[in-house]
Amino acid sequence: MKRSALISLIPAFLATASPVPQASKIAGLCGAAEVDELVGYGAKSTGGSGDTVTVTSCSELTSALSNGGVIHIDGQLTGCDIMNVKSDTTILGVGSSSGLTDSGFRIKKADNVIIRNLAMKNPPKEMDLIDIETSTNIWIDHNEFSAEGITGDKDFYDGLLDAKRGSDFLTFSWNKFSDHWKASLIGHSDSNGDQDTGKLHVTYHHNYWSNVNSRAPSIRFGTAHIYSSCYEDLPISGVNSRMSAQVLVESTAFVNVKRPIVTNLDSKEDGFAIEKDNLFENSEAQITQEKGFVPPYDYATDSADCICDYLKEKAGTGVIN
């Protein structure tokens, strides 16, 4: 087990060293960060308002989504297909097992959406569990996303949580991602730079990733801050920075992860990455170029030494009220 940076500079003459930014943060052992607090690039998200509508069927959910506001899902709903989410909407699961199976959400040309405490499994064929397109101020928190594992056709399902086409100001926090080929894609194409450059700002914090093949996340063009997360058993890649994307990864544990942080995989142009205060166990980063940035918000990190056990308890459903 190592806490130092295990970095392969490939090749060394391509690397451009930059000082690690000193972000405005509070560091501590596990428990420093508030479990029920919105921070990060998506911090302006407020979601829906007004009376709460509780739904127990796909038809009720589809109807409620057409009006926005505050929606509670009570129970596990199956076969709802892909449902559109409009601006100013909050979706919350009741208890620890409410959510969707063989269904998904599309957030397209929307602003101010919150989705929390849902157990979501198996999107419709070739679709995502949550697809965010050309949308802003989104908070995805304390959910559990999964599929059937990393066997069979890797393209039968698409992503668990994807964002693309100039989406911006996103926070994905305290979620569990497991048993899937392609977990989370930020920026869908190498040729979409005109729309994506200068956007796709996303914070991933306190997420638990297990038995995911790749894309944890994979990011093109954008800016990702990833901290206090745990990665276990990823056979292809973890954080994949591509097409001049910038990522800062800190206070995160990688256990049995091939290419836990990589900048020269899958695209015609490398990305950038800075890593600090991470733990690598049977995992070696592959960073070809570095460029730092300072996240424009205050945040608290939990230590990589204890983060995996902590997130197994505190991430996912059934934690928040």
Q: How far apart are CA 61 and CA 68, in angstroms?
A: 10
Pick the CATH number of 12-314 from 2.60.40.420, 2.160.20.10, 2.60.40.10, 2.102.10.10: 2.160.20.10
Residue 201 confidence (pLDDT) above 90 = yes
* pLDDT computed for residue 280 by the predictor: 99
pLDDT in tens, 35-69: 999 999 999 999 999 999 999 999 999 999 999 99
- Which residues are part of the catalytic machinery? 215
User: What is the model's pTM?
Assistant: 0.93
pLDDT in tens, 100-150: 999 999 999 999 999 999 999 999 999 999 999 999 999 999 999 999 999
Residue 21 confidence (pLDDT) above 50 = no
| Mean predicted confidence (pLDDT) in 218-238 | 98
pLDDT in tens, 65-95: 999 999 999 999 999 999 999 999 999 999 9
Confidence grade of residue 151 (pLDDT, cut at 50, 70, 90):
confident
Residue 284 confidence (pLDDT) above 80 = yes
Q: What is the mean pLDDT of the chain?
A: 93
> What are the domain boundaries of the chain?
12-314
How many residues in the chain? 321
Residue 9 confidence (pLDDT) above 50 = no
Confidence grade of residue 293 (pLDDT, cut at 50, 70, 90):
very high
Q: Which has more confidence, 24 or 18?
A: 24
* pLDDT computed for residue 25 by the predictor: 67
Task: Give the 3-state DSSP-derived string for the chain, with helices as H, strands as E and coil as C.
Answer: CECCCCECCCCHHHCCCCCCCCCCEEEECCCCCCCCCCCCCCCCCCCCCCCEEEECCHHHHHHHHCCCEEEEECCEEEEEEEEEECCCEEEEECCCCCEEEEEEEEEECCEEEEEECCEEECCCCCCCCEEEECCEEEEEECCEEECCCCCCCCCCCCCCEEEECCCEEEEEECCEEEEEEECCEECCCCCCHHHHCCCCEEEEECCEEEEEEECCCEEECCEEEEECCEEEEECCCCEEEECCCEEEEECCEEEEECCCEECCCCCCCECEEEEECCEEECCCEECCCCCCCCCCCCEEEECCCCHHHHHHHHCCCCCCC
Q: Which has more confidence, 202 or 151?
A: 202
Q: How far apart are CA 134 and CA 296, in angstroms?
A: 22
pLDDT-above-70 percentage for the chain: 92
* pLDDT computed for residue 7 by the predictor: 39
